[in-house]
Amino acid sequence: MSTAAAMRGCSGPYQQLLSQLQRQTNLTEDTSSLLEPYIQHQDLKTPILRGSCTEHPGAFPSKDALRGLSKRSFLWTVNATLGRVLKGLVTLQKQLLKPQDLEELETAKRNIQGIRNNIHCMSWLLNGSSETVEPMPTGPGPWLQLTSALDVFQAKLEGCRFLRGYHRFMGSVGWVFREWGESPSRSRRHSPRRALHKGVLKTRIFRRGKRPVPRGHLPW
C-alpha cells in the first residue's frame, strides 16, 4: 500500500499504532467535527431538512462488510475509501464552499491523511502475514456527484448525505479497530467475500481553533 521510502518513517509497536488509529477514528466519527458545522453553514438546520440528510445506501461499506474482511483487506478497503472521501471533500469545497467558509473541512482532510499514513504503517507491520488481500468489489463508492443538473439546494443536500455516510463509515472503522484491540490475534475474515456486497508516520490530530497537538506520536 506504500513505498519502501514511506515505510522508513514507520516505527512503534503494533499496539501503539492501533491505539493511535482508535483515537483518530473516535475523532473523525464525531459529527460535530464536520457534518454539524456544514449543516449550520448551509442552513439545513430544520427537522425536515435534517431528516432528509441520510446516507446513500451502498455509498460506504457497512460495519458487517468491514468485519467480514481479513485485516489486510480491511486496511486496503479503508485506505481506498478514504482516498475517495478526500476527492469528495475537494469537490464539495470547490462547488459549494470557499476555503474560508468551513475551516473544519480542511481539518478533516488533514486528519484523514493522518489516518491513511497510519494505515500504511499498519499494513507494513502486517506484511509478513499469510492473509491474502481480497480485491474490493466494484460499486458506486462514496463519490460526491454535484453535477450541473442539480440546483443549489439539491447540491447542499447531497453534500450533507455524503458527510453523513462518511461519519457513519468512520464509526464502523473504529468499531473494527476496537475489536482488534480486544482480540489482536483473531483474524478479521469471518465469511470471505460476504463483505462489501452487503451494503506511523508523524501524525497529528487537528482540532478547530487549537494548535496541532501530537496524539500518540510515533517518531521517525
Q: Write the pLDDT tens digit of every residue in 109-131.
A: 999 999 999 999 999 888 755 45
57 burial type by CB count under 10 A (0-12 exposed, 13-18 middle, 19+ buried): exposed
| 55-72 per-position pLDDT tens digit | 999 899 999 999 999 999
Higher per-residue confidence, 163 vs 136: 163
In Å, how far are 40, 41, 56, 168 from 45, measured between CA atoms? 6, 9, 19, 19
Q: Please, which residues bridge with residue 205 across strands?
A: 213
Asked whether residue 218 carries a pLDDT value surpassing 50, the answer given is no
Contact 53, 34 (CB under 8 A): no
Helix axes 152-182, 71-96, angle to 10 degrees: 160
Say which range, 46-60, 95-109, 193-207, has the weakest mean pLDDT.
Answer: 193-207
CA distance 177 to 19: 9
CB neighbours of residue 140 within 10 Å: 11
Sign of the torsion angle spanned by Cα atoms 27, 30, 35, 37: negative
- List b or e across 173-207, with b for residues whose CB sees 16 or more CB atoms inside 10 angstroms: bbebbeebeeeeeeebbeeeeebbeeebbebebbe
